[in-house]
Structure 1
């Protein structure tokens, strides 16, 4: 359940310890490395002899253990389907309609009948062509578009992977390509809106097959195992991801799927909904414009700070299993675009003041989110910068330093708060007459609370009594003064 770009490191990783001086390669070697073609996650020669590719055994207790993760494999596709069944142009948004369960059942039957009436082997095949074509197009862009190469963390076996940071170029090229295809008549983008349900079905199947491939890869190839999916319990490891960096034709599919086809696909679906609204009603409403802008800017910001993904839990710790595969390729594009899809058939007419409030809330959330992360970045990587020197910190027995002033002195996970506020603003832009378009705000709150608990447990284990002292100095977890 990929919360957009929000796979942040635990709060304990806000600690800054002075690293040893980097080993400097000869200038010629550095130049050769920069110019050589490196695929996503291409392995570089380890500095030391590899130790082992087997991570420490995982205790299968996250997400409710094997029973919880097995349930989520079923529940997540059901949620994606339900958001369509109870919110589409055939039935409106009818989660709590007058008439109770009978009306709810009638709405589901109407949606299913409508879907089956339009479904055909031709539409099924077209959906596969679109999903596979979009995935393959981004693979091509990833290999051919330029971008700086950055190294990830040193893995358990001593290896260190290199990643090409060309997401920004990929974002603009792919968005420009689909808009050009629409306006010259090669492909009508509103087709994505009309066949939204079939595309979601195919994307879910594709994500499931990719997760199966990753698990087969993990047990058939001598590869790095993940820290969170190495329990020995099949259903748990399949969900969490057994292989840390599975390969597909040389491509690190975890890094690639983390941001590329799904995240950019979310923006493309938003644009398709905007074009559909214009085609149906002859105008684009302020709410639709605001939703599309906030979503698009969020994804743009993700690629602007793309290098930050290399220190997130997804890349450093989690394997590539059903959780990330389904989350990246189906959940993100087909649930995060819900607000735009709702406005495509049920545009709200609200005051300009209301939309201005939505914009102000969204900007405030973004600034909290971005400024807090930038403060963390400077503290960790530029300790001599004036911004870093102005911060107060608490030393720990591990040699690390925990920030106790600035943004991180307000709450231990203040970036989560800003991110949720930004998400709430996107929901507010749909109006206040239906609850389903607010799904993201409820889901995201639960997801961030779960992640915050995981972060707290990891930090407590790492810092022991120092973490207890830190919590007394910074008592708020996420919401300043409240929680």
Structure 2
């Protein structure tokens, strides 16, 4: 039985992203940006003359008709093997089971935490293939040579998955005892009744296929690990072509690989993130997780595989220092909040709320409302600085990430104002800065 006084799935009464016009602009605009960025780091395009040589028609000449992508068995086999293989690993590899947050119907979903087993398996497969192919790694070379085509395949897959998820949200769930059905728990922001908006935001909160939680899986597996694999493909390509390990590409691959695996190995922390607890799973998250992450976050490695640069030792130390500082802020601030929520760190200042909870306003969280976001952004900046200053193209990630973090902060602030009322005003007085201390 639901613990809510009202309906299990209240209607969404307000639209984000400026409503349907904004949703449509993002739906079709971001895939276009994704494809164009991929084309701009091709070998035969002058990336260093980004503005003086920009020719959208020339870039688009290399894109094939939509029918070609829809019917290309080779590309679909490559991507579906990747997606399906990871899904199989996610379900079958050993791990420990933990409960997610309590849902509005009073239940908690069970999640298998097996990031260690999965990453070990993936690295072992790469190592075995390296040995069997004597370093040729045709799968990596195929990935490097067909990145734009695979990007488009992934975008199409994201669209198809989103339609499936929307349709699935109307199918009642079977009760655990096998007798009868029950209502699915929907997202509070994706239950407007408008087909386009709900399809975009995501109607159901936690769609599942048997034991596979589709939202958490897509958040941490296909896109995130493909980001790492594309970087490895760029490093491998440069090594095969030159016989050298360029220190700039190596830094980007190792640094971003550390970030990716840190996320995968700390997957339990995702269970309390807004993406999992609040957002539905629709096109917005499907496209972001599966397409935008692997095919735009890899611009630094892809650029360096075309136009390699070599760091001096002091500059390399500078980059490592920025990333280390960002990671320290990101990790320690998240841990501080987690410890506080578990009843530890009682000596830190906090604000009692009418809801019976406390708002931490001391330590890292006395410096800004989202100190972890600031640390995360510093990490992104270190990767962009690794490409030098020949083109602004490779700084896309840091700029986009800043926009994303600000948007998340604004969404969180809106929800907290509703949730805490006057107590949130007290919190804002105690901690006035949103992300960057003394700046914003």
- Fold shared by both chains (TM-score > 0.5): yes
Contact 1:148 1:165 in 2 (8 A): yes
Three-state SS of the structure 2 residue aligned to 1:62 is coil
C-alpha deviation, 1:94, in angstroms: 5.6
Aligned equivalent of 2:11: 57
Larger RCO, structures 1/2 (Cα 8 Å, 6+ apart): 1
Given that 2:48 and 2:390 are in contact with CA atoms closer than 8 Å, whether structure 1 keeps it comes out as no
2:354 matches 1:406: no
Q: Post-superposition shift, 1:95?
A: 6.7
Q: How many residues align?
A: 425
- Corresponding position of 2:177: none
After superposition, the C-alpha distances for 1:342-369 in whole angstroms (9 at most, x for unaligned) are: 1111111332211211111011001000
Report the Cα offset of residue 92 of structure 1.
3.1
- 1:277 partnered with 2:229: no
- Determine whether 1:248 maps to 2:209: yes
- Give yes or no for contact 1:226–1:319 (8 Å, CA) kept in 2: yes
Do structure 1's residue 418 and structure 2's residue 379 form an aligned pair?
A: no
How many angstroms apart in 2 are the aligned matches of 1:257 and 1:122? 22
Conserved? CA contact 1:58–1:228, under 8 Å: yes
Q: 2:131 & 2:76 partners in 1: Cα distance? A: 23
2:175 equivalent in structure 1: none
* Alpha-carbon contact 1:90-1:111 (below 8 Å) kept: no
Tell me which stretches of 4 or more aligned residues in structure 1 moved more than 4 Å. Answer: 48-54, 114-117, 119-123
1:338 corresponds to which residue?
299
Select 1:145's aligned residue among 93, 96, 115: 93
Do the aligned partners of residues 224 and 256 (structure 1) sit closer, same or farther apart at CA in structure 2, a change above 3 Å counting?
same
- The answer to whether structure 1 residue 292 and structure 2 residue 292 are counterparts is no
- Of the structure 1 ranges 146-155 and 88-97, higher mean CA displacement relative to structure 2 is found in 88-97
SS state at 2:54 partner: helix
Aligned counterparts of 1:477 and 1:128: Cα–Cα separation in 2: 43
Residue 72 (str. 1) matches residue 26 (str. 2): yes
Deviation at 1:176, TM superposition (A): 2.5
Q: Distance in 1 between matches of 2:59 and 2:388?
A: 23
What does the per-residue CA deviation read over 1:59-78, in whole Å, with 9 as the maximum and x for residues that have no partner? 34211212111211101101
Superposition map of 1:76-475 within 5 A: 76-93=30-47, 96-98=50-52, 103-105=53-55, 108-114=56-62, 116=64, 124-185=72-133, 187-221=138-172, 222-381=183-342, 383=343, 385=344, 388-475=345-432
Given that 1:123 and 1:198 are in contact with CA atoms closer than 8 Å, whether structure 2 keeps it comes out as no
Instruction: State the match for 2:176 in structure 1.
Output: none
Which range is displaced more, 452-461 or 367-376?
452-461
Runs of at least 5 residues in structure 2 that lack an aligned partner in the other structure: 173-182
Query: For 1:8-23, what aligned pairs fall within 5 Å after superposition?
Result: none
Measured against aligned partners, the alpha-carbon deviations of 1:138-186 in whole angstroms (never above 9, x if no partner) come to 1111122111101012212222110000022212212321342244127
The residue matched to 2:18 in structure 1 has which SS?
helix
- Unmatched runs of 5 consecutive residues or more in structure 1: 1-47
In 2: Cα distance, 1:50 partner to 1:466 partner: 24
Structure 2 SS opposite 1:153: strand
For residues 393-417 of structure 1, give each alpha carbon's deviation from its aligned partner in whole angstroms, at most 9, with x where no partner exists.
2222222111121100111110000
- What is the distance in 2 between the residues matched to 1:285 and 1:389? 48
Q: Which whole-Å deviations, capped at 9, do the CAs of 1:2-23 have from their partners, x for residues lacking one?
A: xxxxxxxxxxxxxxxxxxxxxx
**For the residues of structure 1 that align with 2:187 and 2:283, how far apart are their CA atoms?**
14
The whole-number CA distance in structure 1 between the counterparts of 2:242 and 2:72 is 29
In structure 1, what is the Cα distance between the partners aligned to 2:361 and 2:98?
30
Partner of 1:168, secondary structure, is: helix
Query: Aligned to 1:189, what secondary structure does the other structure show?
Result: helix
Task: Quote the offset at 1:432 in angstroms.
Answer: 1.3
CA contact (8 A) 2:199 2:282 kept: yes
Distance 2:350 2:64 in 1: 60
